[in-house]
Amino acid sequence: MRLWSDEIEALRPEAREVLARDFAAVEALIGERKPIADRDERVAQARASMAQAFTPLEDAIEREIAGVPCRLFVPDGDARAVYLHFHGGGMMVGAPEMNDIGNKELCRRFGVAVVSVDYRLAPEHPWPAGPDDGVAVAEWILAKGGDEFGADRVVIGGESAGGYMAAAVALRIRDELSAIDHVDGVNLVFGVYDWGRSPSQRGIRPVDGPDILDPDGIRFFADCYLPGRTDDERREPAVSPAFADLRGLPPALMSVGTGDHLLDDTLVLASRWAAAGNEVELFVAPELPHGFMAFQCGITARWADTTYAWFGRVVPS
């Protein structure tokens, strides 16, 4: 089984050089990791650091949908579909603004209306508050998207914790709303799908390169989001998508780097997604870390091409 092509393999030396050159700058942008014992102080510091990395665009639309704040980009005329997007941040930090540039480009390139959900965050709002918000917005789009945007077809996606949110919401659309036939695709970018801490989350990775995640930080996110639960309890299917029944789901694109502490989450979910009879395309970026699109090189350019090609296939014409 090969996880990447000869073309990607030939681009590894360049990617290694870019990572060595640029990692410190990217890490500084998202904030220095300081050992802080107090939970609330650590959360506040992480949120302040993450906010510095946002690049908000003035033409985004702020709107409340189903009681949940959302950030929208809409095309001129009827949308071809609605892209229901979830931002990253470990279920503890982050906001839709952090994806404004990418979401606006998807709106422009594919004529989709983008709805990025400002879901509630832990520790103030632990599981299932965030997914509850996502399902509420999804249900509204399925009922009113045709009137509001000219489309009731949905593509769901997100990065990191947003990838988890996208997978969790897709499963609940299938199980609670009986409307998975209205979802044309799921774009899952280096998400966390095993809240019981997969091997890579615990530090067992195939490469030892730098990463913006580490086992201690992942454990802290999980403790905020799922307090008082053991690792086994965090693997309940309703919590961890990697342990859910995955039958009857739409085509998925899953992306991750081998230097990512969430590598195993994607590898497990992708194999189980395919074994359940669903279509899945897997993009593995050798040696690259969590948030790999921040490192501009040949491999990340191929990932962008792959992502746009996938959207071109799943978004209705």
297 to each of 21, 22, 282, 291, how far by Cα in Å?
Answer: 12, 11, 19, 13
Q: Clarify whether 290 is annotated catalytic.
A: yes
d(CA 61, CA 74): 8
d(CA 125, CA 44): 15
Q: Clarify whether 184 is annotated catalytic.
A: no
Signed CA dihedral, 47, 242, 274, 165: sign only: negative
Chain centroid to Cα 72, Å, comes to 17
Q: Clarify whether 5 is annotated catalytic.
A: no
d(CA 175, CA 124): 27
Among the listed residues 260, 255, 249, 268, the one whose alpha carbon sits nearest the alpha carbon of residue 310: 255
Catalytic residue (choose from 116, 160, 198, 240): 160
Residue 107, CB-side half-sphere exposure with 13 Å CA sphere: 24
Catalytic residue (choose from 85, 87, 261, 290): 290
Catalytic residue (choose from 100, 211, 260, 265): 260
Q: Which residues are designated catalytic?
A: 160, 260, 290
